[in-house]
Amino acid sequence: MSDERLVSRFFRVEAFVDMAVEPRRGGPGLAPVEARRLSREAYRALEGLSSRRDAEVKHALGLVLDALTAMERELEIIQRRNLLQSRGVELRPLRAFIGGDGMVADEALPIIGEATVHLSLPVRGHTELLSVDAHIEPDTRTVRFRDVADSVRDVLVAFTFEQQRKERRRELDAVPGD
């Protein structure tokens, strides 16, 4: 598949995103915090409760685990932002057309060629901080994501559809009533 087909394969939306770009370092990007593993194990254990008698307990524990997962997610974001800050990388708002395969920024980016793009995206009611290997074209605005993990692509696609839903809702709300 050519790169041209790859760029046009995904739906794109115009949005403001918090973003930073740095030269590719050759190693892995920002690793997830190990605490997420604990909530996954707890959810698996919770699934083992199956009798009617356990239903109320299962529901209550599910709510507690949801809260724990949200706290773990916030901890991960704080740790990842601190790591970026220690490397001198600062996220800043940028308007772009973004999709699951890349983006076109409204302004020139500071790097051409291989880079790591860091994106902070509000998705599904919380913030995701992604690090994506990318190639920035010579026009300094076109970014093509490379070797994107399925879980990261899912977040990118979810973000684009949520943004489209919000835009359509704004359009519908702007139409005067009959």
pLDDT of residue 2: 36
Q: How does residue 4 score in pLDDT terms, banded at 50, 70 and 90?
A: very low
Comparing CA positions, the residue from 19, 2, 1, 28 lying closest to residue 103 is 19
* pLDDT (mean) for 37-58: 74
Residue 26 in this model has a pLDDT that exceeds 70: no
CB contact at 8 A, 176 and 143: no
Residue 39 in this model has a pLDDT that exceeds 80: no
Most confident of 62-76, 110-124, 162-176: 110-124
Can you list the alpha helix ranges (DSSP code H) found in the chain? 3-8, 35-47, 55-86, 150-174
Q: Which of 45-49, 89-93, 121-125, 131-135 has the lowest mean pLDDT?
A: 45-49
* pLDDT (mean) for 32-50: 67
Residue 175 in this model has a pLDDT that exceeds 80: no
Comparing CA positions, the residue from 10, 18, 14 lying closest to residue 128 is 18
Q: CA-to-CA distance for 158 and 128, rounded, in angstroms?
A: 11
Residue 114 in this model has a pLDDT that exceeds 80: yes
Q: pLDDT averaged over the chain? A: 82
Torsion sign across C-alpha atoms 27, 32, 33, 38: negative
